[in-house]
Amino acid sequence: MHEDADSLSLLKELCSQTFNFQSQKGQVQALQEEIRRLNKLSHDKYTSNKLYMDRFTNARDVIKHISGRLPIHPALVDVDLKKKDMDRSSAMPRKSFAAETESTYQHFAMMFIMGADKY
């Protein structure tokens, strides 16, 4: 890494080390703290749009790193499948995975919007 003077791989390594430090707390504690941090995150009038986006993205990435994936809420998945006239028992695995992914994106999009600047 240092021979190539590759700043991007240096940043990735620093990010990885930071995430690993969070994981030393114990997976359950680290995950709960990060979810709480994300839920409390708000974009006030003194925070730039970029800074809010960076903080939100960082919190989401830390949650994904700690737990291996972003949380999936079954009720939201069911709503997404129902829009497509399906349910869990009749949906093919690929369709269920797509519904899980879509509902997770929608959930995080709503979290982002709800924390956004209201001034």
pLDDT single digits (tens) 56-107 = 999 888 888 887 778 888 888 898 888 888 888 888 888 888 888 888 888 8
Q: Answer whether residue 2 is part of any domain.
A: no
In a domain, 48, yes or no: yes
Range of the domain at 79: 7-115
Q: What is the pTM of this model?
A: 0.69
Percent of the chain with pLDDT over 90: 7
Between CA 29 and CA 35, with CA 32 as vertex, the angle to 5 degrees is 150
Whether residue 18 lies inside any domain: the answer is yes
The larger pLDDT score, comparing residue 116 to residue 22, is at: 116
- Look at residue 69 and tell me if it is in a domain: yes
Asked if residue 1 is part of any domain, the answer here is no
Domain count, the chain: 1
Virtual torsion, Cα 114, 59, 38, 53, nearest 10 deg:
-30
Distance from the first to the final alpha carbon of the chain: 44
In a domain, 76, yes or no: yes
